[in-house]
Structure 1
Amino acid sequence: MPPMIRTALVLGLLSAVSPFAIDMYLPAMPAIESELGAGVSGTQATITAYFLSFGLAQLIYGPLADRFGRKPPIFAGLGIFLVGTVLCAVAPDIRFLIGARFLQGLGGAALMVVPRAIIRDLHTGPEAAKLMAMIMLVIFVSPMLAPLAGSGVIAIGGWRGVFWVIAAASLVSLALLAFAQPETLRPENRAAIEPRALRRNAGILLRDPVFMGLTFVGGLGISSFFVFLTSAPFVYTGTYGLSPTGFSIAFAMNAIGFFAASQAAGPLGERLGMETVVFWATAGFAAVASALVLVVLAGGGSLPVVVGMLFLANAFLGLVIPSTMVMALDPHPEIAGLASSLGGTLQMVAGAVAVTLASPFFDGSVLPMVAAIALCGISAFAVALLVDRSGRRQAV
């Protein structure tokens, strides 16, 4: 097996555990709302809590990965994730579940930050985008199969059974990490954790307009997906009357566009330039999402139309997110772990804020969901314009 494919497979399987905890959980949200008497906003808070801790914890794992190597922080994160998952499975009420999901997110963050640093250890530029896209192809199995698997588990063991299955998957990931993933950061390249150095390096990143711009272009794209994740279970099952299995199929269709298009990010980056790909893909995402809002306002928001247009919007998004991830890290190889963690934190927090701001407007209908997605897309395009201008000024 070629080394890049083997690396993509291992990192993809590790990285898939955290989104699996989201995607497999989605069909259970209406059942949780009913059993725990949480209401829609309370049930949505279980995902918001996960995203928030998932984002904040990335600030920790990046420096740890630069200091101790890439594998030890993943081991620690998986252990925390496993404990949080078991607590979710035995949660007696919605507040306990929200807290357990917060703990789960603290551990799952390691599976987002460290694999990106591993990619930067091995490749840069279009090659890194190719590897990132290949990893996303493996992760693609999660939104395709996890909701369907979740529906099956719910039918047999209720929504708590979902978390027991996720706990088993995390144990498999621990074994995979121990035996299949080599360490990629050599001891001589490891950096001591020095608060002054961290503040200085964080300041470098925060003052870098290209790093911040690319981070928020990707972050606003991720925010739109978070809005979709927290709203779609109620829209598809409530407004359109889909069963948990029907929702899982519709959700998988929306995810196909993202992950299929992500495979073109590397080749298109080599042919056209990654900056060009990000700019026009962001424009396409904003245009399709905005058009969907107009269609819904005009009364044409049937299920096939919504699913089809979200498929196209997510296809554009699939070109944006892997490209911005690697482009933001490329100029900072010596602090790749910190750059990955800071960027990830900013993106996850942006997603949690977007869900929190959109939640009061959500009434179970499709319009608030697609309007929030369009607003994220328009904002991402506005930031992409600023990044493009900043990049041109730096090139002069």
Structure 2
Amino acid sequence: MPRAEKLWITVLALLTSIAPLATDMYLPALPHVVDDLGTTASGVQLTLTAFLVGLAVGQLVIGPLSDARGRRPLLLIGASVCTLAGVAVAFAPSIEFMVGARFVQGFAGAAGIVLARAVIVDRTSGRRTAQLFTLMMAINGVAPVVAPLIGSGLVESIGWRGIFGVLAGLAVLMVVGVLVAVPESLPVERRRSGGLRRTAADIASVLRRGPYLAWTLVLGLSFSTMFAYISGSSFVLQDVLGLSTTGYAAAFAANAGGLVLASLLGARWDADPRLKATIGVAVLVTAAAALLVVVTLAGAPTWPVLALLFLTVASLGLIMGNATALATNHVRDVAGTGSALLGALQFGLGAAVSPLVGSSAAAMAVVMLATAGLAVIALLTARRLDPADAVTTPAAAVV
């Protein structure tokens, strides 16, 4: 891979890392936020929900807008506002203010997520798209590996507020990365005019594409399974399993490392993306079912629970990049809008499951199995609606 392309992909991965960084870095500090702001576990989990709702809504606005205005200006604006929102969270005087600022942070951060996908679709095609999505996930997967480790160290020295100051600094790096390495990928002649009426028509067109919707649901439901784990992990691993803050961070990082490893192996495996996604979903639902059994019938023994959580998270390495490529393959004419709806559903479902988990291991396992089971149904539907996988046809990248 040429050096310029490596830099380009790395910057896009950094842009999409806002989601794992802004969630995982402060997970070890959630009990501290509860004490500092005088709230509850469910109250502080609303800050996760607000952030994810912001990501979902932001993508719905920014994605279609980029089809008309281009990708690069919106990337720069989004990263800049995300910086300011991170500073606001760091100085939050109450849980209510924090929830609002987290929504803004998510809304602005959505630009990096939705437009990074759109840029890849703009500049690549065929199996190359699936490989780059998976490779970007592997690079991006470093974020959940290091984020809790960094967070557990920072919370003892600079507190949870300092963590959000660090996140604001990372958003500044995103601005610099776009300026240096991400040129405009949507030429003026390919932009779509027509205002709100055209946007509504594009959204309606995308929603009528069955294979796109099915693969998008595979992605969203699988991500929800992982997010049920993410939102409950701090309480379950520390309060139920008895891990220390450092032990929790190490376990969380190990699981994220499994995601990175699976993503790297998936990127190197030159196979039908549908096959790789199918294997990933099969592992996901099997691990989630086994987790529910050991939590409810065996008293949540530490090592079996940790092993099953590792398998659950690692399976996403085979699902997310391939499901994303398979879905976006059907919306190349409106890549921004298609990426927006995909991301909105992904993070909207994640936001919906977060408050359901609470601090119970059993509740976390039930939610994980329910979403994984629905992902199986979505996968079977996707394979029926999209039997001829166009993504497997090799095509030269146009980067």
Shorter chain as normaliser: what TM range? Answer: over 0.9
> 2:11, 2:174 within 8 Å by CA — same for their partners in 1?
no
2:100 corresponds to: 99
1:329 corresponds to: 328
1:193 shift after superposition = 4.7
1:251 aligns with 2:252: yes
> 1:26, 1:233 within 8 Å by CA — same for their partners in 2?
yes
> 2:14, 2:140 within 8 Å by CA — same for their partners in 1?
yes
After TM superposition, list the pairs within 5 Å mapping 1:63-82 onto structure 2.
63-82=64-83
1:345 shift after superposition = 0.8
Query: In the aligned structure 1, how far is the partner of 2:279 from the partner of 2:243?
Result: 34
Q: Which moved more, 1:106-115 or 1:279-288?
A: 279-288
1:383 aligns with 2:378: yes
1:140 shift after superposition = 1.9
1:20 corresponds to: 21
Superposition TM-score, scaled by structure 2 size: 0.93
> 2:224, 2:350 within 8 Å by CA — same for their partners in 1?
yes
2:221 corresponds to: 220
Query: In the aligned structure 2, how far is the partner of 1:306 from the partner of 1:150?
Result: 23
> 1:21, 1:166 within 8 Å by CA — same for their partners in 2?
yes
1:11 aligns with 2:6: no
Query: In the aligned structure 2, how far is the partner of 1:275 from the partner of 1:245?
Result: 38
1:291 aligns with 2:286: no
1:108 shift after superposition = 0.8
> 1:127, 1:266 within 8 Å by CA — same for their partners in 2?
no
Seen in structure 2, the aligned counterparts of structure 1 residues 353 and 321 have a Cα distance that, compared at 3 Å, is same
SS in 2 for 1:191: coil
> 1:145, 1:252 within 8 Å by CA — same for their partners in 2?
yes
SS in 1 for 2:17: helix
Seen in structure 2, the aligned counterparts of structure 1 residues 388 and 52 have a Cα distance that, compared at 3 Å, is same
Instruction: Encode CA deviations 1:40-67: one digit per residue, 9 max, x unaligned.
Output: 1001000001001110110111122212
SS in 2 for 1:309: helix
Query: In the aligned structure 1, how far is the partner of 2:380 from the partner of 2:9?
Result: 32
1:311 aligns with 2:306: no
1:142 corresponds to: 143
2:278 corresponds to: 279
Q: Percent identity?
A: 34
After TM superposition, list the pairs within 5 Å mapping 1:1-396 onto structure 2.
1-268=2-269, 270-271=270-271, 273-299=272-298, 301-356=300-355, 358-359=356-357, 362=358, 364-392=359-387
Seen in structure 2, the aligned counterparts of structure 1 residues 4 and 339 have a Cα distance that, compared at 3 Å, is same
Please tell me the residue identity of whatever aligns with 1:146.
Answer: A
Instruction: Encode CA deviations 1:77-100: one digit per residue, 9 max, x unaligned.
Output: 112211211111111111111111
> 1:224, 1:373 within 8 Å by CA — same for their partners in 2?
yes
SS in 1 for 2:215: helix
Q: Which moved more, 1:364-373 or 1:95-104?
A: 364-373
1:145 shift after superposition = 0.9
Instruction: Encode CA deviations 1:119-170: one digit per residue, 9 max, x unaligned.
Output: 1012123211211122122212211111111112111111111011111111
1:300 shift after superposition = 5.4
Instruction: Encode CA deviations 1:1-48: one digit per residue, 9 max, x unaligned.
Output: 444322221211222233211111111111001111211100100000
Q: Runs of 5+ in structure 1 lacking a partner? A: none
Query: In the aligned structure 2, how far is the partner of 1:178 from the partner of 1:4?
Result: 15
SS in 1 for 2:223: helix
Query: In the aligned structure 1, how far is the partner of 2:217 from the partner of 2:189?
Result: 33
Q: Runs of 5+ in structure 2 lacking a partner? A: 391-399
Seen in structure 2, the aligned counterparts of structure 1 residues 113 and 393 have a Cα distance that, compared at 3 Å, is closer
Query: In the aligned structure 2, how far is the partner of 1:86 from the partner of 1:187?
Result: 35
Seen in structure 2, the aligned counterparts of structure 1 residues 324 and 303 have a Cα distance that, compared at 3 Å, is same
Query: In the aligned structure 1, how far is the partner of 2:372 from the partner of 2:15?
Result: 29
1:267 shift after superposition = 4.1
Query: In the aligned structure 2, how far is the partner of 1:40 from the partner of 1:15?
Result: 27
> 1:129, 1:265 within 8 Å by CA — same for their partners in 2?
no
SS in 1 for 2:93: coil
Please tell me the residue identity of whatever aligns with 2:384.
Answer: R
Instruction: Encode CA deviations 1:285-340: one digit per residue, 9 max, x unaligned.
Output: 11121111112222152222112111112222211111111111112211001100
Please tell me the residue identity of whatever aligns with 1:370.
Answer: A
Seen in structure 2, the aligned counterparts of structure 1 residues 393 and 141 have a Cα distance that, compared at 3 Å, is closer
1:261 shift after superposition = 0.8
Q: Which moved more, 1:304-313 or 1:39-48?
A: 304-313
Q: Which moved more, 1:69-78 or 1:41-50?
A: 69-78
Query: In the aligned structure 2, how far is the partner of 1:240 from the partner of 1:300?
Result: 10
Superposition TM-score, scaled by structure 1 size: 0.94
> 1:89, 1:160 within 8 Å by CA — same for their partners in 2?
yes
1:187 shift after superposition = 2.0
The number of residues matched between the two structures is 389
